[in-house]
Structure 1
Amino acid sequence: MKLNFRTLGSGDPLIIMHGVFGSSDNWQTLGKVFSESFKVYLVDLRNHGNSPHSDTFNYDVMVEDVAELMNDQGITKANFLGHSMGGKVAMHFATQHSHMVDRLVVVDIAPKHYPPHHQQIFKGFHSVDLANLKNRKEADEQMAEVISNFGVRQFILKNLDRRKDGSFGWKLNLEVIESAVENVGEGLEGEVSFAGKTIFIAGGKSDYINSSDKELIQKYFPSSQIVTVDGAGHWVHAEKPQQLSDLVLDFLLP
């Protein structure tokens, strides 16, 4: 699949991948920071953002989408940064195509299985009456009935798209993502590993990475380190952008 992406800056390639329900827009601000040192590729993964939709949604196909992008762009080796689902894509990519990965940054996700836990987010999507929607403010008011957190609503509503005929729809492929959400939680399996330098960056207030995950992380990524950003939840890049950018640049730059 030909993924939608945008580039910023010049230098060695850094491919950035967002989490589920997200898009390349989520990393625009930090992408500009990183573009002072790298050629940054901000990617919309399949069924997200402005990338094509497909009924097939799992890590194997998402990995091959990224490999196709690299081949199309003439990139033989890149640094990778992935958050949440994007971090899982990056981990799978690194263990399957290790020769194409220089250094790996994984933000607030471990290589383990996560049970489905996005039910409230899906309720938020379904709470919006797209057929009769007049504006974004109305969408936010409808969603507030089921999701009280303003930041979470704004994150979800980044997917709201106004069509040429004035109607509203979702940019992402909500139906397929919801039906395949079990695949999003899949962990690494088997005797695979990536020996390259890797950093896992955990949110101090998040429960996605905990102390019991260290052994599993070391199994798959023997040259890895785990760093915690105090005061950050799961969306580390949105809550503590300066701390995250400092960690990433200290890790990636010689």
Structure 2
Amino acid sequence: MTKNHSSHPSPLAVEIVGEGFPVLCLHGHPGSGQCMGIFTHFLSQNYKTFSPDLRGYGRSQTHTGFAMGDHIQDLIHLLDQHHIQKCLILGWSLGGILAMELAIRYPERVSGLILVATAAYPRSNHPPITWKDNLLTGLAGIINWIRPGWRWNINTLGQRSLFRYLMVRQTPQSYEYLARYAVPAFIRTSKYAQEALNQALRQGYNQEGQLQHIQCPCLVLAGAQDRHITSAASKATAELIPRSEWICYEQAAHLLPWELPEQIEQDLQIWLKKTPKVTLNSARD
């Protein structure tokens, strides 16, 4: 992710809920701001949450290619538009990578980080994907979109599809989240967003060497069975950030917020309560 950007900031569609200290909620790939509703439904009770669709995702469509680093300029532009000098950032997967980039490049704008299923050096141990995997995933996804959370579909198709690598807990509730948020987000993820991510991965993205510059408090959450960004990669990130706490959930994978929503909410509330400076305008880290 280079620091030189060829394009101007792009305006982002954003969902704003609540009042209070600003919390910027950044989705993964494929994703959209709506996917962050699993967090904003409770965070917005005490804070003002901003959930943008990143460039090339959801309602923030583009007709030209861009680089991953352009997301950073888009997000700084968004903060400036809303006169936000400092905010807490919650990032899931790709969103967590962007959150760390913001904290490294613009430390004065970031009061704290909550990083979910992500890493500064994202490593995967996902098995090779077969045509059968894609077929079963497509069928399971379509049926689940028509009839969310149907146990027959979960048991017959879902557990044999690629969803088995995304979620350990194959529950009707987690599949309802897939239907409500994941399918619309997947459909509206542009080829330009996919190309930008692929380019960064081909270049061997690794920011572990910059993590010592993140001085704000940080909470890192990981699923022990995450195949997309391994828990070992997340743990390495947590260990390199000076003021961090790491929580690993044994029976969870990459979509852990949709697998363990109540537990995630509880752990976030505990961390926010014991780390009050991350949501105070007077915070000086």
TM-score by length of 1: 0.77
Counterpart residue type for residue 183 of structure 2: L
Q: Secondary structure at the match of 2:91?
A: strand
Q: Which residue pairs with 2:217 in the alignment? A: 197
The match for 1:158 among 176, 184, 192 is: 184
Matched ranges for 1:2-151 at <5 A:
2-53=11-62, 54-58=64-68, 60-114=69-123, 147=161, 149=163, 151=175
* Alpha-carbon RMSD: 3.4
Which amino acid in 2 is paired with 1:15?
L
Question: How far has the Cα of 1:76 moved from its partner?
Answer: 0.3
- Please tell me whether the aligned partners of residues 116 and 221 of structure 2 are also in contact (alpha carbons under 8 angstroms): yes
- 2:5 is aligned to none
In structure 2, the CA distance between the partners of 1:95 and 1:119, relative to structure 1 (3 Å rule), is farther
Change (3 A) 1:31 1:176: closer
The equivalent of 1:188 in structure 2 is 207
Question: Post-superposition shift, 1:209?
Answer: 4.0
| Shift of residue 80, structure 1, vs aligned partner | 0.5
Aligned counterpart for 1:252 among listed residues 258, 262, 272: 272
Contact 2:224-2:230 at 8 Å conserved across structures: no
Q: Distance in 1 between matches of 2:258 and 2:70?
A: 28
Report deviation, 1:205.
2.5
Q: CA contact under 8 A between 1:15 and 1:78: conserved in structure 2?
A: yes
- Asked whether the equivalents of residues 82 and 88 of structure 1 are also in contact (C-alpha less than 8 Å), the reply is yes
* Residue in structure 1 matched with residue 231 of structure 2 by the alignment: 210
Identity level (%): 21
Q: 5+ unaligned residues in a row in structure 1: which ranges?
A: 129-135, 161-169
Q: Which string of whole-angstrom CA distances, capped at 9 and with x for unpartnered residues, describes residues 4-52 of structure 1?
A: 1111110100111111001111122431211111101112111111113
Question: How far apart are the structure 2 equivalents of 1:95 and 1:206?
Answer: 25
Residue 249 (structure 2) aligned to one of 222, 226, 229: 229
What secondary structure sits across from 1:69 in the alignment?
helix
Contact 2:117 2:234 in 1 (8 A): no
Instruction: Report the AA paired with residue 221 of structure 2.
Output: I
Q: 1:179 to 1:105 in 2, by over 3 A?
A: closer
Q: Is the 8 A contact 1:120 1:147 kept in 2?
A: no
Deviation at 1:99, TM superposition (A): 0.7
Residue 172 in 1 paired to residue 189 in 2? yes
What is the CA–CA distance in structure 2 between the aligned matches of 1:232 and 1:72, rounded to whole Å? 37
Greater fraction of residues in helix = 2
How many aligned residue pairs are there?
A: 232
Secondary structure, counterpart of 2:246 in structure 1:
strand
Greater CA drift, 179-188 or 234-243:
179-188
